[in-house]
């Protein structure tokens, strides 16, 4: 029997909201989750880059995962980011996500060291073998310093039945096209999701499955409507939403890391949330807040 794609559509990488003391702000995070589900998203991804996983310790990551899974309460699929710099912690967090009731895990390749292809394959095999959950690979070469090539990803899909997809956060239509042709060509059920807002339309046109992109936090309606128009065969309408999506990444250039930009955008778009970010990130200054507000207004997002 032919397997179907398990995770597709619009799956926002949820911002982790904190109190001014750096603790999980449960009420604001719950409200943000509810807003996105109400907007019609197809799933939620917690503890990705925008979820500030790299600034959290393992216990904090576990607590956030437990809270998120409990609050979503099966309304949409929940993906938990479990990757990091070493295999032992990634396996520990992956097994915790499974026990906590996640629907799948998202695993970035180890960063700091560049890892040989053989070691990278073994890393992912060890993680996949440690759980029965579906595993989505997370490719973000701009931050990890190492690309997950389509050939390597196909090898992993060939050898591990529960490696079922990839979040391809790369500013390259050619990479997305090759990923779709190489991996989905051999495994039609394999999910290819882009990580950049402005590549959603390209990904869908090429035969991919959707996006895990930051604008889902503050403007989920744009990507949700783009996907719906595409599925309805209304490419002219989809292209109109694509024009908005093309402009959104300008916002992320306001600071690095841009986790603060996302939180300010959520606030400016009408959800009063704490915009506290964990160091080494810092709050957005007033002049950049003004630039962000201007961009959001130009795009009619708030």
Which residues have a catalytic role annotated?
49, 112, 138, 167
| Whole-angstrom distance, CA of residue 213 vs CA of residue 223 | 9
Q: Are 228 and 213 in contact (CB under 8 A)?
A: no
CA angle 291, 297, 302 (to 5 degrees): 115
Give a three-class secondary structure readout of 22-65.
CCECHHHHHHHHHHHHHCCCCCEEECCCCCCHHHCCHHHHHHHH
**Tokens representing 210?**
């959707």
**Tokens representing 171?**
């500013």
| Whole-angstrom distance, CA of residue 240 vs CA of residue 247 | 12
Give the closest residue to 157 by CA, choosing from 126, 121, 123, 130: 121
DSSP conformation letters of 132-157? SS-EEEEE-HHHHS----HHHHHHHH
């Amino acid at each position: 029997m032919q397997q179907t794609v398990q995770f597709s559509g619009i799956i926002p990488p949820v911002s982790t909201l904190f109190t001014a003391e750096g603790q999980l702000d449960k009420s604001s995070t719950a409200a943000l989750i509810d807003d996105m589900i109400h907007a019609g998203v197809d799933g939620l991804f917690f503890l990705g880059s925008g979820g500030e996983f790299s600034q959290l310790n393992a216990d904090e990551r576990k607590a956030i995962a437990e809270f998120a899974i409990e609050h979503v309460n099966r309304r949409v699929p929940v993906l938990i980011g479990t990757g990091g710099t070493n295999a032992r912690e990634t396996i520990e967090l992956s097994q915790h996500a499974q026990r906590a009731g996640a629907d799948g895990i998202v695993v970035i390749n180890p960063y700091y060291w560049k890892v040989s292809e053989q070691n990278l394959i073994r890393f992912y095999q060890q993680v996949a073998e440690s759980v029965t959950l579906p595993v989505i690979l997370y490719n973000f070469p701009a931050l990890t310093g190492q690309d997950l090539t389509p050939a390597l990803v196909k090898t992993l899909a060939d050898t591990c039945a529960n490696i079922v997809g990839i979040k391809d956060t790369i500013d390259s239509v050619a990479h997305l096209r090759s990923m779709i042709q190489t991996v989905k060509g051999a495994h039609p059920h394999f999910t290819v999701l882009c990580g950049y807002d402005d590549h959603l339309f390209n990904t869908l046109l090429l035969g991919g499955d959707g996006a895990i992109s930051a604008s889902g936090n503050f403007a989920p309606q744009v990507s949700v409507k783009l996907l719906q128009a595409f599925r309805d065969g209304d490419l002219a309408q989809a292209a109109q939403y694509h024009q908005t999506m093309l402009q959104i990444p300008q916002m992320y250039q306001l600071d690095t890391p841009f986790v603060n930009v996302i939180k300010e955008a959520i606030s400016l778009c009408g959800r009063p949330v704490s915009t506290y970010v964990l160091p080494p990130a810092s709050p957005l200054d007033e002049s950049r807040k003004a630039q962000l507000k201007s961009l959001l207004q130009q795009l009619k997002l708030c």
